[in-house]
Chain A
């Protein structure tokens, strides 16, 4: 980055540190914070969508749909994360490629599976082998988002399902007495009121999601914990900047990052709770009403 960094072996003290902390590897470390933030920004709404659909399905009057919703919640919550992240992603990738294989190579005669091997025609590979590595990384990242969303969607579905059931029955009955249809009751009464009940559960999930991002490395995405471990590990002179085991410092830095991030989240979630409690038939809502009066 800086011109004086061309030959690290001649450096010492402050200059060495400056060059060390701006090496290409460190820049990748700093970028990986962005990767994690993007992952969170994309995953959270998608997981909320999955959860919302799951909760609606579980509450459905149709028996099949209700079973489907409940099975989704039960199964995904019951399977250990590590299994999900090791095998589900490969299975998902293979499912896409198998589908594409039948569309693009109908004349292909060799079997797709032989023993442990999975082989589709080259045209069905996603992305193709010849694509630049960046596309492989984007694809891997997309798979990661989908997997995170499915896992956290199941937990969200359970939270929202509980929250929907927690809205006082009297509220819904009043709406029905006014002649609102089932759909209207759901949209105008149930959903606006359920958030305040869902929020404690959702905020838990959000904090767990923040801490779960190191699972990214299992999916081949180099996240902040991977880089902290890689950069902090003791380096012999195969590297340009040899040093001892500095993992403690890197992990302390991550600790500060995670603490700051969760603290900010808590503040935002606290404000959201206050806002959503306003005018609600809950204890918090009642307390706010009395304080104002």
Chain B
């Protein structure tokens, strides 16, 4: 009986509005301002949410943003729980092996090492980075001891409370953090990583990826992408 009820509920749930135009579900992390964040109204917001909305308007798609944990992004994408990842994901050769990227919608960015004092040893010390990011693999390769955290915010907190000597993350994320730390934190080194930030798709979704790619190309050409970047990244913006 219970099983029957469950089955009925599932069928009812899956039958709803199946005829309506298929929605493209875009996943983001919501923890990486200004790329993506949950604003004070509790809604997803940020550069990527604005950009995604604009892309969908241009490509005449119905889109919805959903929040997903960074760690389980790829299994959920492959499982079809959403169709696109726009979560500050840098384009790398390694990642291209199991997913499809659009052209970058944010130029290859600088990553900062941020620490509490200028004399930290970045080659042998403890460096914090977010799990499964290009920064984390860079730290692992650099010979420093890597301390991984699930969220970007925790990596900064680790430096503040002395758990790590430094943190490596995107400059866009760290710039306001350093600026508003009252001199407590400072930038000690800069590195260039990755090929810019792009939207990621399942490998078989070439058609949808093509539509996104085309819209991004158009926005680059008419300058509206630069406008969006300036709106969110303010004076630290890197333009195309």
Contacts and interface: CB of A to CB of B under 8 A. Distances in A.
Contacts of A93: 79, 81
B92 to A, nearest CB: 17
B140 interface: no
Interface stretch (A20-28, A33-41, A200-208, A254-262): A20-28
A25 B18 contact: no
Contacts of B79: 90, 93-94, 118
Interface residues of A, number: 53
Contact residues of B: prevailing secondary structure: loop
Contacts of B24: 129
Contact of B16 (A120, A135, A218, A242): A135
Interface in B166-207: 176-177, 179-180, 202-204
Contact of A217 (B16, B69, B180): B69
Interface stretch (B36-44, B112-120, B124-132): B36-44
A23 B98 contact: no
Contacts of B25: 129
A94 B151 CA distance: 28
B66 to A, nearest CB: 6
Interface string A206-237: 00000000000110101000000110011011
Interface in B59-99: 62, 64, 66-69, 71-72, 74-76, 78-81, 83, 98
B104 to A, nearest CB: 21
A100 interface: yes
A128 B14 contact: yes
A239 interface: yes
Interface string A125-167: 1111111010110110000000000000000000000000000
A115 B41 contact: no
B11 to A, nearest CB: 7
B81 A24 contact: no
A278 interface: no
A147 B177 CA distance: 39
Given A130-B20, A131-B16, A222-B67, A25 B156 contact: no
A100 B11 contact: yes
B37 A239 contact: yes
Contacts of A245: 157, 160
Contacts of B232: 238
A253 B17 CA distance: 42
B200 to A, nearest CB: 13
Max chain B Cβ within 10 angstroms of own Cβ: one of A97, A127, A217 = A127
Contact of B18 (A120, A123, A239, A241): A123
Interface in A84-140: 86-87, 90, 93-94, 96-97, 100, 114-120, 122-131, 133, 135-136, 138-139
B160 to A, nearest CB: 7
A187 B160 CA distance: 61
A59 interface: no
Contacts of B72: 86, 218, 220
A287 interface: no
Max chain B Cβ within 10 angstroms of own Cβ: one of A86, A93, A130, A133 = A130
Contacts of A222: 67
A115 B98 CA distance: 9
Given A233-B151, A238-B176, 5 more contacts: A8-B40, A87-B75, A127-B13, A217-B69, A245-B160
Interface of A: 8, 23-25, 27-28, 86-87, 90, 93-94, 96-97, 100, 114-120, 122-131, 133, 135-136, 138-139, 217-218, 220, 222, 229-230, 233-234, 236-242, 245, 247
6 contacts: A86-B72, A90-B75, A117-B202, A236-B176, A236-B177, A245-B157
Pick the 10 closest A-B CB pairs, nearest first. Answer: A24-B41, A236-B176, A233-B153, A24-B42, A238-B33, A23-B40, A126-B14, A130-B23, A240-B40, A28-B42
